[in-house]
A and B are shown apart, each in its own frame.
Chain A
């Protein structure tokens, strides 16, 4: 699955970084200089403002989205819940990213999820479709038919040999994962890595057939978002993933290229089910880390924290 190996290569990264630095020097924007030094960005603030700031300090969405590219955003809109339940990504976060992608010249932005409940109420209640309807080139779709998925092999999979992934994700150039921070009754938390399960056809087997933690890590070897933006403006710290449960308000947007690092930081920001955990204590994150999908110890990460 070479086409899916979308993580930016070191060369690309350096080039972009160099360009960014040059730009930064020219434009004297202090953030641009800094961006390559940080593994993670954590911005505190209101959903839209914090998201905008996040993209800005990361060097702009143009770092990830080039002109004419097809972009897929994967928020969590799997449940027909309003945003206050915190079971789904905040619509303002999604629309801010979508808008930025369009401004960066994306040919089209598809906002996709394989919803757990019927598509119509999910699209409606989460508010994501409504928020995005005025931006041309942005489409919010819930894919619930097998014909929209295509099977791929999982060469590095330990339990997962093949998996059916959304065709649009396989065929697009950019994938940005925009999960919401929530607890999960099977995997502890449901952040970016667990959110990958919303891009495949058969997730029941993850629960019944495989060790779900290993299967998620396996999935992470084939679906590699270029960017993960964790919506922790609210966090459903119990009763997840569907809610209802206790909703906390960390007011944070956490973003990074490393999906495990983003999640690991996400684990640390609030107590889950009334207890404090580290990323290492979340089994599927640990397995993903051990499989080489990303860094898990946040003490060793450089994190840019800001407030807007």
Chain B
């Protein structure tokens, strides 16, 4: 029963994950698991010092935990389900060394919780490092999802001769877009490490490390359902051995209530059927086994540690230098300081990104920017018909915007590097940037008798099509820099753009302007240049391609 619910929850998590993609319907909260996570919610709310409406969903989990207890870990948590499943796969019937005295280890998760919360209070978003939902979503995004696409495409390729022979047109042309990410290996290592820890004891992660589990266990002893052992108990200690959380105390009649996740494994293995989980209204914090043996020293150390990490993490010139870096944030990202504080690094935006332009940062924006999304326009552009990254952002570090608003959420401006541009440097006929630009922000103007591409900054919203398509090998001859980006915490991007006199609307006027441009002399230079410039005839008054 429990396994079934667990599997269903993991399936649901996976389905929501798959749905986080282009054309996500507005009513579907694909990021629901992340919204429900109170640790991520607290982390973002404390760090950004603002109430985030999506984070309020986590009150639902807090409420049910208060009523029922720490059921989340056993039944709902997709990370717990993954760990249980992989544990069964890899370590089933393996003899585990076990840990003799784990009382101190148990405390680690509480210390971590304190560190994360206090770091958040100082303004550093850090919980993502170990929050199970964020961690698993990241693992899905950077590893499971690309792997799944690879396998599906491989399967389709194998099937192709057959589907061609049978005339299945759609199947024989089916190919899914392969997303690639910079930090797949690191993410896999971390997740693999977590699973491997199970080799020591089952659910090592959940017992000792998980900060979300720590938070839930703080409030769980108030719950209605508690383990009760009848007198039939013959103290065979089978329950103690079987408990995946180590929640059965030395005396098997007693329960470490904070550790119990109500999985009822103990009841199942009990030969005497002496264990039940009745509903009881008795308010008890469970006595000696359930108090958190928090030494004052440990508490203070972790508090100080968290504050120190928070301070150190935010002490970086990066934020101040943000606009001087080549770092393009997704459209609708709130101002950089708030963005770093609010982003929980789940990777949903990068998963959902239609073009795969969103990539995780490693050190590009310092320690405080680990795994934050940035655009990589040389890899792929931002599509003007897609606004999914904001839709799936559980903390709204990237605001959910309408297409119209998102179009005006300028992420930067393209800059032409004349010394690399085929047209400027070599007089070749190349107009790919102009051809692909969805906003007509690149126009050709006659310069020295040749039509040269020029970026109209007020029309460029930094989508990056030009940078991606530029045929120059290696670095692009036209690159998007963060100059002119619009980052708004609230309010309308459209209005802001209007204020700044930006215009990302269709306007054919500029092409006409070129044609009507007069008073341009090319005759004097024509003769001397004739020989060295074989690629284009000198006809500044005619549009390109016409004789």
Contacts and interface: CB of A to CB of B under 8 A. Distances in A.
Contacts of B444: 185
B506 A121 contact: no
Nearest to B442: A185
B491 interface: no
Interface stretch (A19-27, A154-162, A239-247): A239-247
Given A186-B545, A282-B546, A125 B385 contact: yes
A283 B385 contact: no
Contacts of A281: 546-547
Nearest to B355: A118
A187 B434 CA distance: 12
A139 B170 contact: yes
Interface residues on B, range: 35 or more
Interface in B158-186: 167, 169-170, 173, 175, 177
Interface string A266-292: 000000111101001111101000000
Contact of A244 (B386, B429, B508): B508
Interface residues of A, number: 51
Given A118-B355, A139-B170, A245-B511, A286 B547 contact: yes
Nearest to A116: B436
B426 to A, nearest CB: 10
Contacts of B472: 208
B274 interface: no
B455 interface: no
B173 A184 contact: no
Q: Give the secondary structure class of B's interface.
A: loop
B30 to A, nearest CB: 17
A3 interface: no
Nearest to A85: B506
Interface in B525-547: 535, 542-547
B395 interface: no
A204 to B, nearest CB: 5
Contact of A273 (B505, B511, B535): B511
Nearest to A243: B506
Interface in B97-132: none
Nearest to B504: A244
A277 B546 contact: yes
A272 B354 contact: no
Interface string A187-230: 11100000000000000100110011100000000000000000
A80 interface: yes
A308 B306 CA distance: 77
A148 interface: yes
A44 interface: no
Contacts of B469: 204
B431 to A, nearest CB: 4
20 contacts: A80-B384, A108-B169, A116-B436, A124-B23, A141-B173, A148-B173, A184-B435, A185-B544, A188-B543, A188-B545, A188-B546, A189-B545, A238-B511, A239-B440, A239-B506, A239-B508, A243-B440, A243-B506, A244-B440, A283-B545
Interface of A: 80, 85, 108, 110, 116-121, 124-125, 139, 141, 143-145, 147-148, 183-189, 204, 207-208, 211-213, 238-239, 241-246, 272-275, 277, 280-284, 286
